[in-house]
């Protein structure tokens, strides 16, 4: 199975090498800003001509947004725009042009309704101080040295790694991996190189292929499994909040930059800013490390994992929970599970966003009309079940992995997938069960029109 995988390593650059990398990143920014100004000027000119009543045929010719068109225009004008262009690799300018192409495409698709999610605005110019220095290499000499402590990149030469690249080197030596590109980027005050690699991964099987686990994420506990295991939330932001506040106050007391007066920042402000960035980067690294360890363990052990489709954007609008939700990293946990369980040969089931996992009793299937967020213990008034709220939700999620039979076609379909907020027309058909027992693998009712409807309904005895 061939997949795309990234290997990221920290770099230990010398002063000369850092200046060379910054020059390449600056070249990418110059190409991006020049091309964006050219596209924006033509668009504004065409808009003004339309307001004057000029016909579409007589308008100023439009500028192409594709990467070949932008690259052709840049090559024709680079001698006048950037006389120093020969000092940097052509990949540096291609990095900025490719970023502009993708930004314009995303903006256009968002306006036309082809792109889901939040509306994407028109691209903005990149600032030397506020943008993240980055350059991407796709051609030329890109390799890992035999000592596995150095990498070679075009025009930058031999760069020292902070740690060994033995995992990537072993795959390259075995012929099971091929480097497609390398990106050098400054993140949190540290320079890092990221290799995009095409890896031929062997087919694997989870340790328990028949086992199913439901994962209920939350703030009090990072994850609660249907097995009863509680994964503690480390709350990295809370642990580092005191130090981050102190460093931020120290930076605010220094002389920082001012665009209005053209004031340059002092050296002490630069040092303070680097420390603030390092503190934030450490929190991000700790969060990423914990999520990787959790998702790797789950993907390697269980054959089927069930998670919820949470409205994280809506949760972030809650002023009391926004910081804790952002610190937990719900979206990152699901993203890592999605590709890791594919590598391990398992299956990922995503519960519908409107599935009442917390309101449903995992013992008898009764659904409560209301359940306050402050009620941390689920108490069923029908069967008398008393259980932790999150464990009850995780058990209901695990039940979604079972198969149910479609009432109309007789085919098997995954329960809970594709359900909407309301029961389908025609009314539900109750699932019969023995009194006092839970529905075997069924957490909803089957609609006569096909599919499932499992919202706000109880099972018939």
Q: Is there a catalytic annotation at residue 12?
A: no
Catalytic residue among 91, 98, 327, 390: 390
DSSP string, 100-166: HHHHHHHHHHHHHT-S-SSPPPPP-PPPTTTSPPEEEE-SS--EE-TTSSEEEETTTEEEEESS--H
Record the tokens describing residue 220, joined without a space. 């009090």
N- to C-terminal Cα distance for the chain? 47
Q: Residue 403: left (phi > 0), alpha (psi -120 to 50), or beta?
A: beta
> What is the gyration radius of the CA atoms in the chain, in angstroms?
28
Q: Is there a catalytic annotation at residue 147?
A: no
d(CA 111, CA 413): 36
Residue 47 host element (H or E): helix 15-51
Cα dist from 223 to 261, 315, 333, 394, whole Å:
50, 17, 10, 9
Phi, psi torsion values for 268, nearest 5 degrees = -65, -35
Task: Enumerate residues 6+ apart whose C-beta is below 8 A from 113.
Answer: none
Find, among 98, 99, 115, 95, the residue nearest to 107 by Cα: 115
Assess contact for 150 and 158: CB atoms under 8 A. yes
Find, among 105, 126, 101, 123, the residue nearest to 30 by Cα: 126
d(CA 369, CA 340): 36
Find where tokens 């480390």 sit.
Answer: 234
d(CA 378, CA 389): 5
Find, among 135, 152, 142, the residue nearest to 91 by Cα: 135
Catalytic residue among 308, 327, 352, 454: 308
Q: Is there a catalytic annotation at residue 91?
A: no
Do the bridges between strand 386-388 and strand 377-379 make them parallel or antiparallel, or are there none, so unpaired?
A: antiparallel
- Count other C-beta atoms under 10 Å from residue 372's C-beta: 6
Assess contact for 454 and 444: CB atoms under 8 A. yes
d(CA 293, CA 79): 50
Phi, psi torsion values for 216, nearest 5 degrees = -110, 110
d(CA 310, CA 225): 16
Catalytic residue among 91, 216, 352, 454: 216
Task: Enumerate residues 6+ apart whose C-beta is below 8 A from 199.
Answer: 2, 3, 4, 5, 171, 176, 177
Residues belonging to the active site: 216, 308, 390
């Amino acid at each position: 199975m061939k997949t795309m995988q990234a290997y990221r390593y920290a770099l230990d650059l010398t002063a000369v090498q850092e200046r060379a990398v910054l020059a390449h990143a600056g070249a990418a920014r110059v190409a991006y800003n020049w091309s964006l100004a050219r596209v924006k000027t033509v668009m504004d000119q065409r808009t003004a001509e339309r307001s004057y009543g000029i016909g579409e045929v007589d308008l100023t010719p439009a500028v192409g947004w594709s990467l070949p068109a932008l690259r052709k225009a840049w090559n024709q004008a680079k001698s006048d725009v950037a006389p120093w262009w020969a000092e940097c690799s052509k990949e540096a300018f291609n990095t900025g042009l490719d970023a502009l192409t993708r930004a314009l495409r995303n903006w256009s698709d968002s306006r036309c309704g082809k792109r889901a999610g939040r509306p994407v605005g028109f691209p903005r110019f990149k600032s030397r101080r506020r943008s993240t220095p980055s350059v991407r290499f796709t051609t030329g000499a890109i390799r890992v040295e035999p000592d596995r402590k150095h990498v070679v990149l075009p025009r930058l030469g031999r760069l020292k790694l902070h740690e060994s690249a033995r995992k990537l080197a072993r795959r390259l030596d075995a012929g099971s991996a091929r480097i497609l590109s390398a990106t050098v980027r400054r993140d949190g005050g540290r320079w890092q190189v990221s290799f995009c690699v095409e890896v031929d991964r062997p087919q694997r099987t989870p340790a328990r292929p028949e086992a199913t686990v439901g994962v209920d994420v939350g703030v009090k506990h990072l994850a609660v499994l249907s097995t009863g295991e509680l994964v503690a939330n480390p709350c990295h932001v809370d642990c580092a909040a005191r130090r981050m506040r102190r460093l931020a106050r120290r930076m605010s007391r220094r002389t920082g930059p001012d665009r209005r007066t053209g004031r340059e920042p002092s050296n002490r402000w630069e040092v303070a800013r680097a420390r603030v960035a390092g503190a934030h980067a450490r929190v991000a690294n700790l969060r990423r490390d914990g999520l990787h360890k959790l998702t790797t363990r789950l993907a390697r052990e269980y054959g089927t994992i069930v998670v919820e489709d949470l409205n994280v954007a809506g949760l972030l609008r809650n002023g009391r929970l926004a910081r804790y939700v952002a610190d937990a990293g719900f979206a990152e946990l699901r993203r890592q599970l999605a590709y890791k369980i594919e590598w391990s040969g398992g299956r990922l089931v995503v519960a519908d966003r409107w599935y009442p996992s917390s309101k449903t009793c995992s013992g008898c299937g009764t659904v409560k009309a209301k359940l306050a967020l402050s009620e941390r213990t689920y108490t069923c008034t029908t069967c008398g079940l008393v259980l932790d709220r999150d464990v009850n939700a995780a058990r209901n999620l695990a039940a979604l992995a079972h198969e149910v039979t479609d009432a109309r076609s007789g085919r098997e379909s995954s329960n809970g997938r594709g359900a909407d907020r309301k029961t389908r027309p025609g009314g539900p058909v109750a699932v019969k069960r023995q009194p006092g027992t839970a529905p075997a693998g069924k957490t909803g009712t089957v609609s006569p029109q096909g599919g499932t409807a499992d919202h706000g309904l109880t099972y018939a005895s």
